[in-house]
Amino acid sequence: MTRDDCRILSARFGRSDGHRLAVYEAEGGYTALRRALKEMTPLAVREEVKTAGLRGRGGAGFPTGVKWGFVPAEAQTVYFMVNADESEPGTFKDRWIMDYDPHAMIEGSIIASYAVRAGLCFIYIRGEFGWLVDRVQTAVDEAYRAGYLGRNILGSGFDLEMIVHKGAGAYICGEETGLINSIEGRKGQPSIKPPFPAVQGFLKQPTIVNNVETIAAVPPILREGAAAYRRFGTEKSPGTKLWSVSGPVRRPGVHEIPLGLPFREFFAQDLGGMADGEELKAVIVGGSSVPILTADEILACNLDYESLAAAGTMLGSGGMIVIPRRCDMVELIQVLMHFYWDESCGQCTPCREGTGWLHRIVRRLRAGEGTIADLDLLDKVCNGMMGLTICPLSDAAVMPMRSFLTKFRNEFAALARRPEESGPRSRWARTTNEVIG
Amino acid sequence: MVRLTIDEQVIEVADGTRLFDACTQVRGEALPHFCYHPDLSIAGVCRLCQVEIEGAPKLTIACNTVVKDGMVVRTGSPRVQAAVTSILEMHLINHPVDCPICDQAGECGLQDQYMVYGLYESDVAKRDKVHKRKAEPIGPYVILDQERCVLCSRCVRFCAEITKTGELGILQRGDRAEIAVAPGRVLDNAYSLNTVDICPVGALTSRDFRFQKRVWLLRSTPSVCPGCATGCNVRVDHEGGRVWRLRPRRNDEVNGPWMCDHGRMEYKHLHAADRLTQPLVRREGVLQPVEWREAWAELERLVRPGGVALALAGPHQTIEELLLFRRLGELLGGPEAVYGGVVGTDRGEGDALLIDGDRAPNRAALGWLGLREAPADELAARLGPGRMAVVYGGDPAALSPRLASALAGGEFIYLGTRRGATAEAAAVALPLSMWAEKDGLLANRQGRLQALRAAIARPGTAREDWRVLAEWLGRLGAPPPPTTLAALRREVAAALELPPGIDLNALPATGFVARSGADAPAAGGR
């Protein structure tokens, strides 16, 4: 099997005409929709996707077919939403789908809407992706004209309206309840769960939110069948995955490979290794929110959910940041901590206060004004942020912070002033005790 | 019913009970919290009420969890303790810790919870603190300190869910987030001071109470707001003979945990400059302060049993007082001379929440006691040269020019609390007590009996109303009037034909509905 055989999602990437309906149809587009609407019940579609083992590509990796099954059977009004708020640092795969192959996402969305019995579908596109809103809207218009959207689609009796919605540019709106609040016109911030969106989401009705890449994988699964999809990948990580690779490698960009491929092989073959004069130091494998792996760690890993979990990190969104030896890790974490501090919605206290505190401590260290005690303080602040909030943004800040600190502690320590240089810390309680006796 | 285990204790609670409340039941005190409020929606943002539920991988907030059969919950495990301590520290890192100048000090959630879950040394470098705006007036009664705010969103939810006026929101995100008044708005709904009550920290404080008193010096007396027919239950916070503020006292049958801003300002009348502080007797056309002994002598000289043309009470007096006054009025002028008030007075605009259009606290009881309100003209017609009247409470002369001139045309005794137009026109004015200076019962619009309680001393030589009325009855040689309030209340119970076993000296906490407020006059009625 060559790499080209795996190009399920990326077949039209890089082509100037791949986004056109005619091209998409000529290459088998919308046959999966035809099959779903004419030959399958919504339940059968859900089962097919479940059997294929497709897992959410937005970061959590939850089985898509199972998620669709959470919509209560008695639900009357169901909504489907495509999460195209791709904002995880290092992640830029969804935008390639929308740019080069918008109909794959649209066809997948129609099939998914049918599977969950939704009559209205939103595509929520990150505010900074202005040009993609136009591109996707043009494709949606084409789909309407071709009868793939609207009333009685392909004579099946299934109706679906599709709305392209442009966000205002907030990372947190990529969290599904934040996305729903944003579409409802509220402040984009996550809601407490329960209730979960599949039971009570948009306008308090059952709502399914799926990532762009997840949805783009649905037409190939229905076209070729679940078994064909499972030819790729591993038992627990079936199929292919897009990796958006940044950093000084020879061939950065978006690469599609079967899950389970050893990183070593991906790195050498697909990425072409490091650029001239660069040396691999570390890799953030699944978007900025996952724990970093050192060169040794990643070189021993396969690129699938279970191997990466075993290595103490996560596959996440597949936003791979390759870090060269010359990179200052404290500078890098400062950039990331600034990001999470900036993007925290501010609802939950541990995240609101913790992200800012982490950022300020790191900034102080880099300014040469930190002490060695600040390293322990960073660790302590992380402890107070992990697993205690409504959504995972707080954890997402902690995971890189903690792993950077653990694996590159010497770089942090080198920036700290030596303890004897630091002035006495304010210890009023102790002082008071001494005075009082 | 659901059976669950909390801190090794098995309890049974009703289906649908919040785990937060079940924990309170077992622990005897609430879990640490800022955002949870039983009368508002769940926000789940302070993250303090974390508990450990067996089988759940992560800690869970109790406020957004409903109890389930067989749940095993721990509220004080080391894991929970560590989480609560660190979350509390997160609340405090950007807090200014300006307790010495903060009015919330002494009743502050941050202080209280720090004493239980904190007591660590601060790890925050002063330069790491985020600074925000301080002392921003956001409405006629409320002032906002952004630095002290913990963004629990209670005030926002109050304005969205209770008053439904939506003045407040949270702008910005992350640690720049702040409570803000919507552009072009002010926090001027009729209930704005409730946001100060529910603010768990010193972010929202009362412009009226600010910098007046340290709260730990205050003593608190449970009572009832006299501002309208709703009868919101209140705490009268007082010190040094002055009332400094009123706060609502929860009564789910009447006001829940809220009260209106107008009611909160009722205390100001107690300390008005025009209080009647001594008996006054008109000598050579001028009212002169005298001893009670002299006032009684003058009164007995002027008023003879049977010689009174009008005995006018009002809907602000307590039930005990009205009962005695009715008896006095009948003795002095006969049943037809006794009136309950002037029709159409003490009315305002009401709303659907708490404020009643009837601004008198005890109008329901007038009907029960057969005390009729009459138009000013009808009352005026009873007056005239050579006629004697007794006016009890209120300021009827200020309400109607016709009544004012009629009162001035004759002679009358005034029993009241302030030197208004009526007092100034009286032959004798006896200084009595305002609502926070006496015990007494009021019947609200539901017909619910609730108790006023004396919180502060009366000014000057002013006396308790019922004792003055009882003394006058005694001087008239009437059947012996009751000598204690308890005995007087037994007479009230009899007059209202309350079922036996109702002890008006020990009302239930929520009061007692004697009869529907709309009921036609019955007991003692004519």
What pLDDT was estimated at residue B384? 86
- Report the chain A residue with the minimal C-alpha distance to residue B59: A388
Q: Tell me whether residue A242 is exposed, middle or buried, using C-beta atoms within 10 angstroms of its C-beta: 0 to 12, 13 to 18, 19 or more.
A: buried
**Contact between chains at B44 and A192 (C-beta distance less than 8 A):** yes
Mean pLDDT of A177-185: 97
Nearest one of A352, A252, A235 to A302, comparing CA atoms: A235
Q: Which is it for strands B388-392 and B411-416: parallel, antiparallel or unpaired?
A: parallel
User: Each residue of B174-218: pLDDT tens digit?
Assistant: 999 999 999 999 999 999 999 999 999 999 999 999 999 999 999
CB count, 10 Å around CB of B214?
A: 11
Residue A419: pLDDT band with limits 50, 70, 90? low
- A256, β-bridge pairs: A242
| Residues 6+ away with beta carbon under 8 Å from A44 | none
Check pLDDT > 80 for residue A437: no
- Report the chain A residue with the minimal C-alpha distance to residue B52: A388
Residues belonging to chain A: 437
| Inter-chain contacts counted by CB atoms under 8 A, chains A and B | 102
How far is residue B357's CA from residue B496's CA, in Å, rounded to a whole number? 25
Check pLDDT > 90 for residue B514: no
Residue A431: pLDDT band with limits 50, 70, 90? very low
Contact residues, chain A, for B94 at CB < 8 Å = 353, 356
User: Each residue of B21-80: pLDDT tens digit?
Assistant: 999 999 999 999 999 999 999 999 999 999 999 999 999 999 999 999 999 999 999 999
- B443, β-bridge pairs: B449
* CB-based burial, B268-286: b 16+ in 10 Å, e otherwise: ebbeeeebbebbbbbeeee
**Contact between chains at A345 and B176 (C-beta distance less than 8 A):** no
**Contact between chains at B86 and A387 (C-beta distance less than 8 A):** no
Amino acid in position A209: V
How far is residue B417's CA from residue A64's CA, in Å, rounded to a whole number? 75
Contact residues, chain A, for B175 at CB < 8 Å = 341, 344, 346, 352-353, 355-356
How far is residue A324's CA from residue A319's CA, in Å, rounded to a whole number? 16
Check pLDDT > 80 for residue A429: no
Check pLDDT > 70 for residue B306: yes
Reduced to 3 states (helix: H, G, I; strand: E, B; else coil), residue B286 is strand
Mean pLDDT of B418-433: 97
CATH annotation of B124-213:
3.30.70.20
User: Each residue of A10-28: pLDDT tens digit?
Assistant: 999 999 999 999 999 999 9
- Report the chain B residue with the minimal C-alpha distance to residue A347: B45
Amino acid in position B176: R
How far is residue B420's CA from residue A228's CA, in Å, rounded to a whole number? 95
CATH class of B2-90: alpha beta
Check pLDDT > 80 for residue B119: no
CB count, 10 Å around CB of B187?
A: 26
Reduced to 3 states (helix: H, G, I; strand: E, B; else coil), residue B293 is helix
User: What's the DSSP call for residue B327?
Assistant: H
How far is residue A62's CA from residue A49's CA, in Å, rounded to a whole number? 12
What pLDDT was estimated at residue B272? 96
Q: Tell me whether residue B292 is exposed, middle or buried, using C-beta atoms within 10 angstroms of its C-beta: 0 to 12, 13 to 18, 19 or more.
A: middle
Write the residue in B48, B169, B173 that is nearest to A344 by C-beta: B173
User: Each residue of B125-162: pLDDT tens digit?
Assistant: 877 888 889 999 999 999 999 999 999 999 999 999 99
What pLDDT was estimated at residue A161? 98
User: Each residue of A328-348: pLDDT tens digit?
Assistant: 999 999 999 999 999 999 999
Mean pLDDT of chain A: 94
CATH annotation of A240-324:
3.10.20.600
Which overall architecture, per CATH, does domain A336-421 show? Up-down Bundle (1.20)
DSSP collapsed to 3 states, chain A = CCHHHHCCCCCCCCCCCCCCHHHHHHCCCCHHHHHHHHHCCHHHHHHHHHHHCCECCCCCCCEHHHHHCCCCCCCCCCEEEEEECCCCCCCCCHHHHHHHCHHHHHHHHHHHHHHHCCCEEEEEECCCCHHHHHHHHHHHHHHHHCCCCECCHHHCCCCEEEEEEECCCCHHHHCHHHHHHHHCCCCCCCCCCCCCCCCCCHHHCCEEEEEHHHHHCHHHHHHHCHHHHHCCECCCCECEEEEEEECCECCCEEEEEECCEEHHHHHHHHCCCECCCCCEEEEECCCCCCCCEEHHHHHCCEECHHHHHHCCCCCCCCEEEEEECCCCHHHHHHHHHHHHHHHCCCCCHHHHHHHHHHHHHHHHHHCCCCECHHHHHHHHHHHCCCCCCCCCHHHHHHHHHHHHHHHCHHHHHHHCECHHHCCCCCCHHHHHHHHHC
Residue with tokens 């009002």: B314
Phi-psi region of A147 (alpha: psi -120 to 50; beta: other; left: phi over 0): left
**Contact between chains at B121 and A429 (C-beta distance less than 8 A):** yes
* CB distance A221 to A298 below 8 Å: no
CB count, 10 Å around CB of B351?
A: 13
What pLDDT was estimated at residue B113? 87
Which overall architecture, per CATH, does domain A9-230 show? 3-Layer(aba) Sandwich (3.40)
Query: Chain A interface, mutation test: which of B114, B153, B173, B178, most A Cβ atoms within 10 Å?
Result: B173
Amino acid in position A224: E
Check pLDDT > 60 for residue A420: no
- ipTM entry: 0.89
User: What's the DSSP call for residue B469?
Assistant: H
Q: Would you say the CATH fold of B124-213 matches that of B2-90?
A: no
Residue B516: pLDDT band with limits 50, 70, 90? low
Nearest CA-CA distance, residue A156 and chain B, Å: 43
Residue B525: pLDDT band with limits 50, 70, 90? very low
User: Each residue of B215-235: pLDDT tens digit?
Assistant: 999 999 999 999 999 999 999
Enter the pTM of the model.
0.92
Q: Which CATH number fits domain B280-513: 3.40.50.300, 3.30.420.40, 3.20.20.150, 3.40.50.740?
A: 3.40.50.740
* CB distance B189 to B159 below 8 Å: yes
Nearest CA-CA distance, residue B55 and chain A, Å: 15
User: Each residue of A105-153: pLDDT tens digit?
Assistant: 999 999 999 999 999 999 999 999 999 999 999 999 999 999 999 999 9
User: B173 — contact with chain A (CB < 8 Å)?
Assistant: yes
* CB distance B48 to B84 below 8 Å: yes
Residue A275: pLDDT band with limits 50, 70, 90? very high
Residue B520: pLDDT band with limits 50, 70, 90? very low
Check pLDDT > 80 for residue B420: yes
User: B131 — contact with chain A (CB < 8 Å)?
Assistant: no
User: Each residue of B474-494: pLDDT tens digit?
Assistant: 999 888 889 999 999 999 999
Check pLDDT > 60 for residue A432: no
The structural domains of chain B, with segments of one domain joined by +, span: 2-90, 124-213, 280-513
- B251, β-bridge pairs: B256
User: B116 — contact with chain A (CB < 8 Å)?
Assistant: no
Mean pLDDT of chain B: 94
Which range (A185-199, A305-319, B471-485) has the least confidence?
Answer: B471-485
User: Each residue of A345-402: pLDDT tens digit?
Assistant: 999 999 999 999 999 999 999 998 899 999 999 999 999 999 999 999 999 999 999 9
Contact residues, chain B, for A350 at CB < 8 Å = 47, 86-87, 90
Which range (A410-419, B105-114, B382-391) has the least confidence?
Answer: A410-419
The structural domains of chain A, with segments of one domain joined by +, span: 9-230, 240-324, 336-421
**Contact between chains at B151 and A342 (C-beta distance less than 8 A):** no
**Contact between chains at B174 and A427 (C-beta distance less than 8 A):** no
